Amino acid sequence: MSVTRRAVLIGGAVLAMAARAEAAITLTAALDAAAGERDPVIALKLLDGFDPRDFPPVAALDLITARAGLACDVALARAPGFDRQLERLFGSHRGAAAVERRLIREQRIATTTALRLFDRLGIAGQTPGERFTRLWGEAQGRFDDGDAGRDAAIAAMNATLDRLRAMLPALIGPVPAYCRNVSATRGSPEEQAAGKVGTRRLPLPGRPGAYVVDLARIADRPRCSLPSVVAHELLPGHMIQLPTEAAARPHRLRLTYAPGFAEGWSIHAERLVAQTGAWTDDPRAMLGYLHWRLFRIARARADIGIHAYGWSIDQAQARLVEWQGVPAYFAPFDADLARITAEPATRTAEMLFALAIEDGARGKRGAALVRFNQAMLVDGRMRGDEIRRRA
């Protein structure tokens, strides 16, 4: 190739990169304007004329997500309803009845597995909820209610974390080194005194991350319930997805219109770990995982029941007691049902994100599974339609 032709090609490439950068700046300005516009019809028009194919993946995903969400806001203003709310928070779906059928199938699978394990352990009861209540009441599964017991709980969680950290290459593939530099902690005495527990300190380059575990009511956190918390809150859950997303710097409209993705990823992370056989040698830890899964399915079903079928709070609580027995540590039944009532479709959307990611991962092993999980992480959150496309 001649020097002149090489110079022309290089010059053309530089001009193309400059044009792309300028277009990205223009798109950011349009997204900012749309985010500040109260009328979704006008906000949507501000994004006319942009083609996602003209932008790098992160910016393209910002545009796709913002358009889809704003279009839902337009439709929701014209015809309110649960299905519209769910579409706004998640993406296209088949309607509340179809979503409920899927949740019932997932609940049946988890419950059947749990009942087999309960039979193996000799833990009886008329309902799954009764059996979980008895498991939670086992004296040998509790940590002492004191500093020594709380330290033992943290030590057990960090031992689990070491196991899960070693599994990352096979499940997730490469992740930023700082995402691996995380731990479970009781927090400082000041944090404990101020009630700043049950919180995350996300890792950054040069700064370790931590999950500050709430152990105030340690009797309600039996040993079996904690391993899956490690997978959800630490690795391969929130401590990978959230920092990776922060590095991608998605536009705030993407955060608005895919709000349940982060929770969906961490529910997927729990299942991913369980499916690899991490709890095969510990049936109680497996039951702890299944309780978390049933909790998330049950609150999604309660969401649909209350908002789509007119369940009363008492009806919803009776079902939660039957299905899971013991409330999740941070979600007492009365408080969680009040939140579900105030935030229609939110809990259902979170579970749908998890199921969409799990469906995308289904049947994938080895390098294919790693590629899929990387595609879920690298550009930050996305709506359900984009999850299905990337799968």
Looking at residue 25, its pLDDT comes to 75
> What are the structure tokens assigned to 347, written together?
């809990």
Question: Alpha-carbon distance 137 to 219, whole Å?
Answer: 9
Question: Alpha-carbon distance 344 to 167, whole Å?
Answer: 36
**Residue 185 φ/ψ region, left for φ over 0, alpha for ψ in the -120 to 50 degree band, beta for the rest:** beta
Looking at residue 340, its pLDDT comes to 98
Confidence grade of residue 5 (pLDDT, cut at 50, 70, 90): low
Is residue 257 within 8 A of residue 67, CB to CB? The reply is: no
Confidence grade of residue 16 (pLDDT, cut at 50, 70, 90): very low
Looking at residue 21, its pLDDT comes to 55
> What are the structure tokens assigned to 94, written together?
């088949």
So where are the chain's domains? 3-80, 96-390
Q: What is the pLDDT of residues 134-192, one digit of tens each?
A: 999 999 999 999 999 999 999 999 999 999 999 999 999 999 999 999 999 999 989 88
Mean pLDDT computed over 202-226: 97
Residue 24 has pLDDT above 70, yes or no: no
Is residue 37 within 8 A of residue 44, CB to CB? The reply is: no
Confidence grade of residue 217 (pLDDT, cut at 50, 70, 90): very high
Question: What is the side-by-side order of every strand in the sheet holding 182-185?
Answer: 182-185, 209-212, 199-201
Residue 15 has pLDDT above 50, yes or no: no
Closest CA to 243 of 186, 211, 205, 213: 205
Backbone Cα Rg of the chain: 23
Residue 365 has pLDDT above 50, yes or no: yes
* Partners of 209 in beta bridges: 182
Closest CA to 117 of 269, 292, 276, 291: 291
DSSP element (H, E) containing 209? strand 209-212
| Residue 364: half-sphere exposure toward Cβ, Cα within 13 Å | 19
How confident is the prediction for the chain on average, in pLDDT? 94
Lowest mean pLDDT among 15-29, 68-82, 343-357: 15-29
Looking at residue 193, its pLDDT comes to 86
Question: Alpha-carbon distance 352 to 86, whole Å?
Answer: 9
DSSP SS3 for 380 = coil
Residue 12 has pLDDT above 70, yes or no: no
> What are the structure tokens assigned to 290, written together?
């299944």
Percent share of the chain, pLDDT over 70: 94
Q: What is the pLDDT of residues 221-272, one digit of tens each?
A: 999 999 999 999 999 999 999 999 999 999 999 999 999 999 999 999 999 9
**Sequence-separated (6 or more) residues with CB below 8 Å from residue 8:** none
Q: What is the pLDDT of residues 88-126, one digit of tens each?
A: 999 999 999 999 999 999 999 999 999 999 999 999 999
Is residue 233 within 8 A of residue 185, CB to CB? The reply is: no
Looking at residue 194, its pLDDT comes to 87
> What are the structure tokens assigned to 189, written together?
């005495």
Question: Other CB atoms closer than 10 Å to residue 218's CB: what's the count?
Answer: 19
Looking at residue 17, its pLDDT comes to 47
Question: Alpha-carbon distance 133 to 148, whole Å?
Answer: 25
Residue 18 has pLDDT above 50, yes or no: no
> What are the structure tokens assigned to 304, written together?
């649909």
